Amino acid sequence: MSRKESQSNDKTHRRFHPETRALHEGWHPEDPGEPLVPSWDPSTIFRHPGQGLSAGTWSYTRLDNPNRSQLEKTLASLEGGSEALMFASGMAAVQAVFHILAPGDHVLLPGDLYHGVRILISEQYERWGLSFNFVDMTRPDAVVEAATDRTRMIWMETPSNPMLKISDIAALSQLARDRGWISVVDNTWCTPVIQRPLELGANIVLYSTTKYLGGHSDVLGGALVLRNTDQSPPSDGSSTLAERLRSLQRQAGAVPSPFDCWLMMRSLKTLYVRIRAQATAAEMIAEKLMEHHFVEEVYYPGLADHPGHHIAVRQMDLPGAMISFRIRGDEETALRVVSSSRVIIPATSLGGVESTWEHRRTSEYKGSATPGNLIRLSVGLEHPDDIRDDIDRSLECCRSAK
C-alpha cells in the first residue's frame, strides 16, 4: 500500500480522546516494517501514476505533501474541524484570511490584538480598499455600533494581547452569523487544549503555530482550521470557506516546508501535557503576583476579580499560561526588571517550554498603546518555584527605583 493510501483509508481515531489522537491521528503504523515515527519526505516532486494525475495523488510539494497532510489531519482532529490548512507563518495564515475579502469590505477587529495583525491591515490592506475598525470586543453592543453595511468579517482574539481581555466567542459568533459575517478567532494563546472556537460557533480558527503548538521556539508556522460546511461569501453555494482558503494556500504558496511540518507533528505529541503543566504553574504564579508589593495590577483570566473571569470559565478549560502585570515603577524600571532575571529569558514571542518575558511596549514599537510599566510573561516548564523566585528577585529592581 502506498503511503497516501494508508493515510487516506477510513481508519479514524476520532473515537479516542484528544490526547490519544495527538499521538495517533496523523500517522499510525499499520503494516509490518513501517516506522513508528513518520518519515520526513523532503522531495518537491512525486512520480506520476500511469494514467496521469488525479486529485489525491502526490505531485508537487507546494500543493500537498505527506508531512503536511499528516499534520493537517492531526490538527483538524484536535480542533474538532473537518479541515486544517498549514502556512509558513501565523501572518501568512492571517493574510490568506484577509484575501477572501473584496475591496470595499469592512472588518471589525479588537482594539487590543496581536500588533502584527494591526500593522498588516493598516499598512497593506487599506491600499487594497479594505476598511476596518478596532472595537472593544468585550462589549457586543460596541461591535454592533461599529458595523457598517459593508461589514463582512469579525476578528476575535481572546484572551487579547497583551491585556488579556476576554470576549464572548459564542455571543459574538452568533451576532456574526445573524448578519452573514465571517467569524475568525485567533486562538494562538489557548490551543485546542484550552478553547475550541468552532464548538462555540466561529467559522475560522487561526493559529500562529510558532507559539504553543510548536512549543519549543524552533519552528515558524501558521494554521487555519475550519468545517467544510461553512459557505464563503458571496453565499451562492459556489464554494465553501475551506475550499477557497485551500485554493489560496496552494496558489499563493506561503506553505511550511516538509521538515517544519515533521517538527510540528512531533510537538503536537506533547501538547496536552505541556499546556496543562504550564497553565497550572501560571495559576500559582498569578496568585503570587497579586500579593506582591511591587506589582500594581495583574491581568490573568484565572483570577476571580478579572472582569472577564465568568466568560473565561465558560469558554476556556484552563486559564492559560500567559500573564501580564504592571509593576510599581516606571518604564525604565520595568525594562530593568525584565533584563535582570536569571531563569526567565528576556525575549519576545511566547508559548515555549522555557519561560520568557518582555517589556511589551518596546516590543510593539509602532503605535503601541501598552502601558510602559507592563511586563508580559510566558510561563514555561521550569519548576514553578524557580520561576516564582526569579520573578521575586527581579522585582527587587523596583525597590532601588523608589
Ligand X SMILES: *Cc1c(COP(=O)(O)O)cnc(C)c1O
Q: Where along the sequence are the contacts to ligand X (CB under 6 A)?
A: 89-91, 114, 116, 157, 161, 186, 188-189, 208, 210-211, 220, 222
Nearer to ligand X, 136 or 243 (CB): 136
Whether the CB-CB separation of 357 and 341 falls below 8 Å is answered with yes
> Grid coordinates representing 234?
458571496
CA dist 184 and 333 (Å) reads 37
The least distance separating ligand X from the CB of residue 349, rounded to whole angstroms, comes to: 6
Geometric angle at alpha carbon 139, from 136 and 140, rounded to 5°: 110
Whether the CB-CB separation of 142 and 135 falls below 8 Å is answered with yes
Proportion of the chain in helix, strand, coil states, percent, rounded to 5: 40, 15, 45
The least distance separating ligand X from the CB of residue 267, rounded to whole angstroms, comes to: 14
The least distance separating ligand X from the CB of residue 204, rounded to whole angstroms, comes to: 13
Nearer to ligand X, 89 or 203 (CB): 89
The least distance separating ligand X from the CB of residue 209, rounded to whole angstroms, comes to: 7
The least distance separating ligand X from the CB of residue 191, rounded to whole angstroms, comes to: 11
For residue 22, which of 87, 69, 75, 92 has the smallest C-alpha distance? 75
The least distance separating ligand X from the CB of residue 401, rounded to whole angstroms, comes to: 30
The least distance separating ligand X from the CB of residue 208, rounded to whole angstroms, comes to: 3
The H helix count followed by the E strand count for the chain is 16, 12
Nearer to ligand X, 57 or 348 (CB): 348
For residue 332, which of 388, 270, 281, 402 has the smallest C-alpha distance? 402
Nearer to ligand X, 156 or 295 (CB): 156
Nearer to ligand X, 167 or 333 (CB): 167
Query: DSSP states of 246-303 as a string?
Result: HHHHHHH-----HHHHHHHHHHHTTHHHHHHHHHHHHHHHHHHHHH-TTEEEEE-TTS
Nearer to ligand X, 203 or 208 (CB): 208
Three-state secondary structure call for residue 197: coil
Nearer to ligand X, 111 or 116 (CB): 116
Nearer to ligand X, 27 or 114 (CB): 114
Cβ-based neighbours of 27, under 8 Å, separated by 6 or more: 7, 37, 38, 70, 265
Nearer to ligand X, 61 or 89 (CB): 89
Position closest to ligand X via CB: 90
CA distances from 71 to 51, 85, 331, 398 (A): 28, 9, 42, 46
For residue 82, which of 243, 283, 193 has the smallest C-alpha distance? 243
Secondary element (H or E) of residue 390 = helix 384-395
The least distance separating ligand X from the CB of residue 326, rounded to whole angstroms, comes to: 20
The least distance separating ligand X from the CB of residue 187, rounded to whole angstroms, comes to: 8
CA 178 to chain CA centroid, nearest Å: 26
The least distance separating ligand X from the CB of residue 206, rounded to whole angstroms, comes to: 7
Whether the CB-CB separation of 296 and 326 falls below 8 Å is answered with yes
The least distance separating ligand X from the CB of residue 213, rounded to whole angstroms, comes to: 10
Nearer to ligand X, 116 or 233 (CB): 116
Q: Which residues pair with 376 in a beta bridge?
A: 324, 358
Nearer to ligand X, 191 or 208 (CB): 208
Query: DSSP states of 41-52 as a string?
Result: ---SB-PPPTT-
